Amino acid sequence: MKLHLEKLELREIGMPLKAPFETSFGTSFERRILVIRVFDRDGGIGYAECTAPAGPFFNHETIETAWTIIKDYIAPILAKSEVGQASEVSEILSPIIGNRMAVGGVEAAIWDLEAKRAGAPLWKYLGGISPQINCGVSIGLQSSPELLLEKVTKEVESGYQRIKLKIKPGHDLELVKIIRNSFPDILLSVDANSAYSLENDLDLFKQLDEFGLLMIEQPLSAGDLLDHSKLQKHLKTPICLDESIASFRDARHAIELEACRIINIKLGRVGGHAQAKAIQA
């Protein structure tokens, strides 16, 4: 059944966080969220969130840039295009360079609309096989090791299967040691958000390598696949790339260079469901 898109709407909302969330990029106290709604001529509505952050620190996109790109470029392209199905949207919007969170948000809303028209939940429409999955939690930097241990304990008792600790220089090795000693069997990983360098921090990573971590996420600069490749050769712990992977091509290069063993595929960062499924395949 062909889609007949009629209108696209944007709305920003704010969601206060229960507790501040600190990473090597800074501290967040609330989430600004850009909600996208797409309408077809029969009254169907698809919803999605554009995951662009408030500031240009995770990548170059922000709420403001995404709003502009969607309103001034994406919406006009879709208005003059014949969108047959959601899987075509990524190709239709391919003339837009970068701005993948804006593109991915709109594409996700169209997938939601199409799934509703098909009478299926989105997870099943996309090929999912289970309505439930094991879930992990990411824990931001804390003001003290005691508070970190308290938060990890609370999350483990809540039933989370994996714990990921945010780290940055000066807040890393000792924290991991405390958590690993307290929870010797839990699936534990760390996320550096590009806070380290191979030149200065190789010894640190070799020490982290001894804690049986599930992975070390984005230890080095997002644009430096070569140094990630060099670092991975020193470690038995898998490197996971996050900010480094913004496209299928990035993923292919990372794999060919052996710069990682795990890829964190974030829907918005790679440009939507079609691109995410291509990377996963």
Mean pLDDT of 126-144: 90
The set of catalytic residues is 166, 266
pLDDT of residue 58: 78
pLDDT band with cut points at 50, 70 and 90 for residue 27: confident
Q: Check: CB of residue 96 under 8 Å from CB of residue 76.
A: no
5-125 CATH pick, 3.30.390.10, 3.40.50.10490, 3.40.50.300, 3.40.710.10: 3.30.390.10
Mean pLDDT of 267-277: 93
Residues of the chain with CATH 3.20.20.120: 136-280
Mean pLDDT of 83-100: 93
Mean pLDDT of 36-65: 93
pLDDT band with cut points at 50, 70 and 90 for residue 29: confident
Instruction: Specify the range with the lowest mean pLDDT, choosing from 94-103, 125-134, 173-182.
Output: 125-134
With pLDDT > 90 as the criterion, what percentage of the chain qualifies?
83
| 50 pLDDT above the threshold of 80 | yes
> Which residues fall within 8 angstroms of residue 157, CB to CB, at 6 or more apart?
none
Q: How far is it, in rounded angstroms, from Cα 111 to Cα 89?
A: 9
- The closest of 110, 137, 126 to 281, measured between CA atoms, is 126
| 130 pLDDT above the threshold of 90 | no
Q: CATH fold of 136-280, please?
A: TIM Barrel (3.20.20)
The string of pLDDT tens digits covering residues 191-245 is 999 999 999 999 999 999 999 999 999 999 999 999 999 999 999 999 999 999 9
pLDDT of residue 17: 87
Residues of the chain with CATH 3.30.390.10: 5-125
Mean pLDDT of 155-180: 96
Q: How far is it, in rounded angstroms, from Cα 112 to Cα 150?
A: 38
Mean pLDDT of 1-6: 81
| 135 pLDDT above the threshold of 70 | yes
Q: How far is it, in rounded angstroms, from Cα 156 to Cα 154?
A: 6
pTM: 0.88
pLDDT of residue 1: 63
pLDDT of residue 231: 98
pLDDT of residue 270: 94
User: DSSP letters of the chain?
Assistant: ----EEEEEEEEEEEEEEEEEEETTEEEEEEEEEEEEEEETTS-EEEEEE---SSTTSSS--HHHHHHHIIIIIHHHHHTS---SGGGHHHHTTTS-S-HHHHHHHHHHHHHHHHHHHTS-HHHHTT---S----EEEE---SSHHHHHHHHHHHHHHT-SEEEEE-BTTBSHHHHHHHHHH-TTSEEEEE-TT---HHHHHHHHHHHGGG--S-EE--S-TT-HHHHHHHHHH-SSPEEESTT--SHHHHHHHHHTT--SEE---HHHHTSHHHHHHHH-
With pLDDT > 70 as the criterion, what percentage of the chain qualifies?
100
